[in-house]
């Protein structure tokens, strides 16, 4: 752990006055810097048609990601396996909560085919929580990763898994595929878990990532945070401290954007300079890579960030 005197003070970040958090009709006013890139409409449509043809589910659509236009126009998408129904009901997430359907046995093959048709050299895969399954969907994860590697042997694979309820056997089953990046998002600060991430546990998520690193020190680990839910800058910095202590290599920090009126309200829009301060704090902690900005998401520019991490 670096000498704390070399770090930007969380108090300094907390005292930032960059953000215009004035209200309009009782709601926070959307700041001018929150304008997502749309990308090229024709290629975006082609990507969507290809995914629809193969009946592929993406987190881009299900989570209403603001970067979908930019990413799809570059023939990039994040595949979501295990169905469209999640067994948890996180108050920030747009993915539907319902009793899941049975796993589709041909989904791994279809995901691999989609990745191949898109010409991907860096494949990002995530999933819904499948707490209804004994292994949390671990075997389905393995089948999907293997199918992608068989279809595109040269491709790098980044996975963003659920916590598997802390089941070490399930975690190790997936880690044994040796993904290039093993990602699991912390999402928010411990104080807000009961509000935003019911059914999950802060320490359990941290321990999952520590265990992956213990299982194989060569697997790069990654985790993400969203800000704007009412956390303090000091709390965000303390989470980064915990991430570093748990040997996490790569961190992403992005702005929470309310996907619908039934989700949690945005409590603050962070200014890009505030994100830069958080990034500098993380860099001085010693992460291999840290990405922070209004539109940063777990898989946004994942391939470029992996290359930059070296």
Regarding beta strands 220-227 and 250-255, do their DSSP bridges make them parallel or antiparallel, or are they unpaired? parallel
Which DSSP helix (H) or strand (E) runs through 241? Answer: helix 233-245
Tell which residue, 88, 89, 95, 83, has the closest CA to residue 57: 83
Higher pLDDT, 198 or 27: 198
Termini Cα distance of the chain:
21
Could you report the per-residue pLDDT of 30-79, keeping only the tens digit for each?
A: 888 887 777 778 888 999 999 999 999 998 888 888 888 889 998 999 99
Which of the four pLDDT bands, split at 50, 70 and 90, describes residue 307? confident
Which DSSP helix (H) or strand (E) runs through 48? Answer: helix 41-53
Q: What is the DSSP string of 141-154?
A: HHHHHHHHHHH-TT
Residue 273 has pLDDT above 70, yes or no: yes
Residues 6+ apart with CB under 8 A from 59: 65, 78, 79, 80, 95, 126, 299
Task: Read off the pLDDT of each residue in 71-92 and give the average, rounded to a whole number.
Answer: 93
What is the pLDDT, as a whole number, of residue 62?
A: 84
Report the percent of the chain where pLDDT is more than 90.
72
Q: What are phi and psi of 292, to 5 degrees?
A: -145, 130
**Measured distance CA(182)–CA(302) in Å, rounded:** 12
Q: What are phi and psi of 56, to 5 degrees?
A: -95, 135
Q: Which long-range contacts link 199-203 to residues 24+ away (Cβ below 8 Å)? A: 199/88, 199/89, 199/90, 199/129, 199/131, 200/88, 200/90, 200/163, 201/163, 201/166
Residue 20 has pLDDT above 80, yes or no: no
Q: What is the DSSP string of 191-215?
A: GGHHHH-TT--HHHHHHHHHHHHHH
Give whichever of 29-43, 63-77, 81-95, 170-184 has the largest mean pLDDT.
Answer: 170-184
Contact status, residue 283 vs residue 292, Cβ threshold 8 Å: no
Residue 18 has pLDDT above 90, yes or no: no
What is the pLDDT, as a whole number, of residue 7?
A: 52
Domains and CATH numbers, the chain: 4-309 (3.20.20.70)
What's the full length of the chain, in residues? 310
Output the CA–CA distances (angstroms, integers) from residue 93 to 50, 123, 206, 244, in the order listed: 25, 22, 20, 26
What is the pLDDT, as a whole number, of residue 41?
A: 81
What is the pLDDT, as a whole number, of residue 259?
A: 85
What is the pLDDT, as a whole number, of residue 28?
A: 77
**Average predicted confidence (pLDDT) for the chain:** 90
Report the percent of the chain where pLDDT is more than 70.
91
Quickly count: other Cβ atoms within 10 Å of residue 238's Cβ.
15
Which of the four pLDDT bands, split at 50, 70 and 90, describes residue 188? very high
Which of the four pLDDT bands, split at 50, 70 and 90, describes residue 4? very low
What is the pLDDT, as a whole number, of residue 43?
A: 87
**Measured distance CA(310)–CA(57) in Å, rounded:** 30
Residue 199 has pLDDT above 60, yes or no: yes
């Amino acid at each position: 752990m670096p000498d704390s005197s070399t770090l930007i003070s969380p108090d300094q970040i907390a005292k930032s006055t960059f953000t215009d958090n004035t209200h309009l009709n009782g709601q926070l006013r959307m700041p001018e810097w929150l304008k997502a890139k749309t990308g090229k409409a024709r290629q975006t449509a082609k990507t969507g048609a290809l995914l629809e043809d193969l009946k592929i589910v993406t987190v881009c659509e299900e989570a209403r990601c603001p970067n979908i236009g930019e990413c799809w126009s570059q023939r990039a998408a994040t595949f979501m396996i295990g169905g469209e129904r999640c067994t948890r009901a996180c108050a920030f997430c747009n993915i539907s909560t319902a009793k899941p359907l049975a796993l589709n046995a041909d989904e791994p093959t279809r995901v691999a085919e989609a990745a191949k048709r898109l010409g991907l050299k860096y494949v990002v895969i995530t999933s819904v929580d499948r707490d209804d399954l004994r292994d949390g969907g671990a075997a389905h994860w393995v089948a999907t990763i293997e199918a992608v590697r068989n279809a595109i042997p040269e491709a790098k694979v980044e996975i963003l898994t659920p916590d598997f309820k802390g089941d070490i056997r399930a975690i190790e089953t997936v880690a044994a595929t040796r993904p290039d990046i093993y990602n699991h998002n912390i999402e928010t600060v411990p104080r807000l878990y009961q509000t935003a991430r019911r059914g999950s546990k802060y320490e359990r998520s941290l321990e999952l990532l520590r265990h992956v690193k213990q299982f194989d020190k060569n697997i790069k680990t990654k985790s993400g945070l969203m800000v704007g839910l009412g956390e303090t800058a000091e709390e965000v910095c303390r989470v980064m401290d915990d991430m570093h202590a748990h040997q996490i290599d790569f961190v992403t920090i992005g702005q929470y954007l309310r996907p619908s009126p039934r989700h949690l309200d945005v409590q603050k829009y962070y200014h890009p300079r505030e994100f830069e301060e958080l990034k500098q704090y993380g860099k001085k902690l010693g992460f291999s890579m840290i990405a922070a900005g209004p539109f940063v998401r777990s898989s946004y520019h994942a391939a470029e960030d992996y290359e930059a991490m070296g």
